[in-house]
Chain A
Amino acid sequence: MAKQSIEPMLWMLFSAGGVLSALVLPILVFLFGVAFPLGWLSPPGHEHLLTLLRHPIARVAGLFLCMLSLVHGAHRFRYTLYDGLQIKHLNEVINVVGYGGAIAGSVLAAYVLWQIP
């Protein structure tokens, strides 16, 4: 009997996170990371941003975005270390730190999004 593996599920989550981060993140980095700080565009007012973030859809979408992007990042970085630097003897540590970090980050994201007044 074939051994049950969670690897396919990890690849699925990796993929979902890959699509979501590819669609959503570049514009957000452009705006909040580059355009607003450099003064190319004026940043949204606090009230406006709060209204957007408060919306249930924004909270749920934000949680999915954070969760899946973190799993995507952890999974890909694991293989970067594995293929790129050929770190194979630390596999277990890398898995625990990577996926554990992604889970901890998701919990933190849920908390931060929950805390929006």
Chain B
Amino acid sequence: MSGGPAYSEYHPRWFRPRVSTYWWLSRRSYLAFILRELSSIFVVWFVVYMLLLVRAVSQGDASYRQFLDWSARAPVLVLNVVTLFFLVYHSITWFNLAPQAMVVHVGPRRVPALVIAGSNYLAWVLTSAILAWLLLGG
């Protein structure tokens, strides 16, 4: 922050109403917003989890089994169920916002929001199907 205005004897008092630290609890839409923002923590957690998995697989069959056992322990499982909720929430909010972020024109017409959101959801389904097929196919 750069310094405030120069001192003067008759400087008016600032009017800055204090915002409560818990302002996001006062309305449902605020809460939805802050939950969406908190999904970031779970994205990071899951990257860490994936890296642990990759490391275990690299180290051999025994480590991989150990990782699978560890992933079934209650605290890890609960954390991952919460992570699943937050990541699905992240995806839905992200794809719903896509039409506002992507302004696509075909000729003089703007591509309707529904088409853009729809194609994002389609991409989500296809990506998930391909990954599931690759992982489960052996």
**What residues make up the interface of A, taking CB atoms closer than 8 Å to B?**
15, 17-19, 21-34, 36-38, 41, 43-53, 62, 65-66, 69-70, 72-77, 79-80, 83-86, 105, 108-109, 112-113, 115-117
Which residues of the partner chain B approach A53 to less than 8 Å between Cβ atoms? 54, 57-58
CB-CB < 8 A to B49: which residues of A?
32-33
* Distance in angstroms between the alpha carbons of A116 and B88 in the assembled complex: 29
Q: Across the interface, which residues of A come within 8 angstroms of B41, CB to CB?
A: 73, 77
Pick the residue among B37, B77, B91 that contacts A34 (CB under 8 A). B77
Q: Which of A15, A18, A44, A74 is close to B136, meaning CB atoms less than 8 Å apart?
A: A44
> B55-95: which residues lie under 8 A (CB-CB) from chain A?
55, 57-58, 60-61, 64-65, 68, 71-72, 76-77, 80-81, 83-84, 87-88, 90-91, 94-95
The number of inter-chain residue pairs (CB within 8 angstroms) is 156
**A36-B46 in contact (CB<8A):** no
The 8 Å CB contact of B91, one of A26, A50, A109, is A26
Q: Is B111 an interface residue (CB 8 A)?
A: no
Instruction: State the B residues within 8 Å of A (CB).
Output: 19, 21, 24, 34, 37-41, 43-44, 46-51, 53-55, 57-58, 60-61, 64-65, 68, 71-72, 76-77, 80-81, 83-84, 87-88, 90-91, 94-95, 101, 123-124, 127-128, 131-132, 134-138
CA distance A27 to B87 in the complex (A): 9
